[in-house]
Structure 1
Amino acid sequence: MKVHVQKYSAVATWKWDVAEDEVCGICRVQFDGTCPSCKYPGEDCPLLVGKCGHSFHMHCIFDWIGTESSKGLCPMCRQKFEFEES
């Protein structure tokens, strides 16, 4: 018996490779979702991991660091926020 496939639909899923956190500490949206500034998850809004180990959506942490009250500190642990080189 031979089978001929006439049509198929592929489905894929992806996740960010983040060890600890599952949600952005600023906007509280899951990393697999989008930050409030974006329409679609993925490379347009990557995750940034600080040397302190906390992860945030790129737009969220840039907005946070841009505020005067943040003083350049991580919103989770209040250490100086520096990006981890990957």
Structure 2
Amino acid sequence: MPFDGCCPDCKLPGDDCPLVWGKCSHCFHMHCIVKWLNSQQVQQLCPMCRQDWKFKE
């Protein structure tokens, strides 16, 4: 599984590097998607499909 590891910002996989899903069904490490969303100037879009990013509840 590609998500068994951790994101580049973390040293060890586990609870400090959780996976999150968007309503578009794409999945990312929490740190990765937050960094991506913070880098967006206007709209916060999914990096895969470019739909508006909303966290799946």
**Moved beyond 4 Å, runs of 4+:** none
Specify the alignment match of 1:53 in structure 2: 25
Which amino acid in the other structure matches residue 54 of structure 2?
A: E
The TM-score, its normalising length taken from structure 2, stands at 0.91
The TM-score, its normalising length taken from structure 1, stands at 0.62
Higher relative contact order (CA 8 A, sep 6+): 2
The size of the alignment, in residue pairs, is: 57
Rg comparison, structure with higher value: 1
1:12-52 Cα deviation digits (max 9, x unpaired): xxxxxxxxxx5xxxxxxx21011000011111010010000
Specify the alignment match of 2:47 in structure 1: 75
Output the CA distance in 2 between the equivalents of 1:55 and 1:45: 13
For residue 42 of structure 1, the aligned residue among 14, 18, 24 is 14
Question: Could you say what secondary structure the match of 1:63 adopts?
Answer: helix
Q: Which runs of 5+ in 2 are unaligned?
A: none
Cα–Cα, structure 1 residues 39 and 70, in superposed 2: closer, same or farther, change >3 Å? farther
1:42-82 Cα deviation digits (max 9, x unpaired): 11010010000000000000000001357200000000010
Q: Which runs of 5+ in 1 are unaligned?
A: 1-21, 23-29
